[in-house]
Amino acid sequence: MKQWVCVLVQTPAHAALGSVLSYQSDRPLAPGTLVRVPLGKRETLGVVWDADAAQATGEVDPGKIKSIAGVLEGIAPLNTAWQSLLTFAAQYYQRSVGEVTLAALPPQLRELSPVQMQRRLARSKPKPTPTGPDTLQGANAPCLTPEQNSAVEQIQTNPGPFLLFGATGSGKTEVYLHCVQTLLERDPNAQALVMVPEINLTPQLEARFRQRFAPTYGDDAVVSLHSGMTNPQRLKSWLASHTGATRIVLGTRMAIFASMPTLRLIVVDEEHDPSYKSGEGARYSARDLAVYRGRLEGAKVVLGSATPSLESWHHSRPGADGGRYLRLHMPSRVGQADTLPLVRRVDMNHQPRNAVFSIPLLEAIKARIARGEQCMVFLNRRGYAPVLHCADCGWKSECPHCSAYRVFHKIDRTLRCHHCGFTERVPRACPSCGNPDIAPLGRGTERLEEHLTELLADVRRPDSVSPEFPAGVPVRVARIDADTTRLRGELESQLAAVHAGDVDVLVGTQMIAKGHDFRRISLVAAINPDGALFSSDFRAPERLFGLLMQASGRAGRDAALGTSAEMWVQTFQPAHPLYAALKRHDYPAFAEQQLKERSQAGLPPFSAQALVRAEARTQDIAQGFLRAASEAAKSSDIAQITLYPAVPMTIQRIANIERAQMLVESPSRAALQRFLTGWQTVLQTTRQSPAGKGLVRWAIDVDPLAI
């Protein structure tokens, strides 16, 4: 007898079709079962869902019910907790549950037929993993410091969630390793999820976890999960996680949706990093979902950072509004007591005009090189120069498709837009007036590398440098940014050169400013970070302070260099309170001051926000759609809701698409969610009205990081 089943398919939130459809099956299928179903003229992947969700589809004509095309045998149904997580994420971030659920599955899983899936599973039989009463007794685990031991004990004895507030170099990673080790010793079937903000931080962390756990649990005990992997690699890791064959999953924000049936521990390293917030599709925060998933599945959650997000810091403060997280403090560096890098502020107002490197900083770099130490120069802007400019007529290298400038890349003589990708060769003369003397304005890492190489041309390597690299040769300046690491394997090889001592001065963007354990770097310099001090984005000071603190943490990580490590900040605002707090390494004081200002202004975390973004062929259409939706919303009850006027986005045009946004704010998160849920229908109706004619797309961003 045919059975009716409800199946989730991938459709956007505003699709009239809905994401829960009814199909027929020859046998009962448990919720969470993966199936292939016909959808229009194509066949697609679906997930059998709870029958109660089918009420959203309304009445269905029995004669139009199609049969499922097949079941992906050999893959156990996705469990109830996973389904609840995806349902919550879809509801909270205002997307369709089908869109979020199907996007959370590996791309190759969505492409394979049941027969192909059977062949794939037959080729990847899980290997038996060695387990026994001795488990990790032979692992080479270092002894914990008193601070690390206290943190581990607190995590073991309290329910959490925990905010591990540890200075850079305090050994937070070892705390993660020890917590995972203790978990697996207690329950060999348990699983742990460890998340990092960026792909380039995954390999070195994976190496440490494999070194610790592979001898006991086998090579399959640790897998990675991130967008840099090929589709077959992602499917293999996902299957190992879903079947329980792997104990530990390391990944970026997408890993929060990994199916882990025995998940007992979630670690979010560098929890403050904005990379945990998705910028497209369902704009979810993996950090916030980690806390929710831990509560949902009974897993402990550890959020770690030397500069926690102000939201997490607020939640860890005692009091009526705080106290949701237990704060664990590790202020000391391992093996170096309290020897954090000395922060030096250079007042660029007293330096020669247009100087890139101050005289004291340049002398300090030369002194470090003479001692066989390494230096790091940080500038969060890639390319040679952000603008090419004609002094005669004022022409600038604007992108014809975006409201932004094309960046000058000298290495391949191109002007490249970092938003739409439009690239052209550098013109021989000004396109406007014919002046041949067009010049770069501003500096990127490429220009910084070139300039520093010129300044250090007469400096030679000392005898004390690593014996593999000869003394007396010119100093090597290397650059690591998105341009130099574009090819597969380039990042790993460049980092290996730094670790081996083949690089004397490392120039780069934020890619090198966080997470890396450079043992021989003793000096870090930040070049002109002042731009964020006067940004219209209220989160800019928080991001700048965190980035500078993370960058300073790359210096003096080796005990022999700890007492002489320095962080140099070249600034035109040396008296700014942010730099004063940075000099003291006083994140608590900075955080409390920022929270006080946000409380007075009613900004997050003391309010809840959402952005409604619209994209259209003209700015008038984009803003008109938002205004019409706002007026329609005001006709209903909007108590506790503030709707701000529609305005152009900071970069209002990308790839010839105009962008506008409207801020929605409320002191109550629950009230904001109720309003947004009800407003979905208004937005969809407005989209079909004359006000929506010419609109390309619209989306809601809940808890936005950039306004």
Residue 593 — left, alpha, or beta (φ > 0 → left; ψ -120 to 50 → alpha)? alpha
Instruction: Check whether 62 has a pLDDT greater than 80.
Output: no
Residues 195, 520, 450: CA angle, nearest 5 degrees: 90
DSSP label at 228?
Answer: T
Q: Residues 35-56: what's their mean pLDDT?
A: 77
Q: Residues 279-288: what's their mean pLDDT?
A: 92
* Mean pLDDT, the chain, whole residue set: 87
Q: What pLDDT score does 553 carry?
A: 85
Read off the amino acid at residue 92.
Answer: Y
Q: What is the DSSP string of 360-419?
A: HHHHHHHHHHHTT-EEEEE-S--SSBSEEEETTT--B-B-TTSSSBPEEEGGGTEEE-TT
* Beta-strand pair 505-508/477-480: parallel
At 108-139, the pLDDT tens digits run 888 877 787 777 777 766 554 554 434 444 45
List the domains of the chain with CATH numbers: 3-123 (3.40.1440.60), 136-330 (3.40.50.300), 342-382+444-599 (3.40.50.300), 387-441 (no CATH), 608-702 (3.30.70.100)
- How many H helices and E strands in the chain? 17, 28
Which residue's entry shows tokens 């990379």?
Answer: 275
pLDDT category of residue 31 using cuts at 50, 70 and 90 = very high
- Burial of 385-414, coded b for 16+ CB within 10 Å and e otherwise, reads bbbbbbeeeebebebebbbbbbbbbeeeeb
At 590-610, the pLDDT tens digits run 999 999 999 999 999 999 999
Judge whether 564 and 607 are in contact, CB under 8 Å.
Answer: no
3-class SS of residue 216: helix
Instruction: Check whether 46 has a pLDDT greater than 80.
Output: yes
Instruction: Check whether 228 has a pLDDT greater than 80.
Output: yes
Spatial separation of the C-alpha atoms in residues 222 and 161, rounded to whole Å:
24
DSSP label at 298?
Answer: T
Q: What pLDDT score does 54 carry?
A: 43
Q: Which two tokens stand for residue 68?
A: 């499922």
Q: What pLDDT score does 56 carry?
A: 42
Spatial separation of the C-alpha atoms in residues 408 and 415, rounded to whole Å:
5
pLDDT category of residue 555 using cuts at 50, 70 and 90 = confident
pTM of the shown model: 0.90
Spatial separation of the C-alpha atoms in residues 34 and 45, rounded to whole Å:
7
Spatial separation of the C-alpha atoms in residues 274 and 538, rounded to whole Å:
14
At 67-102, the pLDDT tens digits run 888 888 889 999 999 999 999 999 999 998 988 999
Q: What pLDDT score does 642 carry?
A: 93
Rg of the chain (C-alpha set): 27
Q: What pLDDT score does 203 carry?
A: 75
pLDDT category of residue 501 using cuts at 50, 70 and 90 = confident
Q: What pLDDT score does 465 carry?
A: 54
Spatial separation of the C-alpha atoms in residues 369 and 479, rounded to whole Å:
17
Q: What pLDDT score does 322 carry?
A: 62
pLDDT category of residue 397 using cuts at 50, 70 and 90 = very high
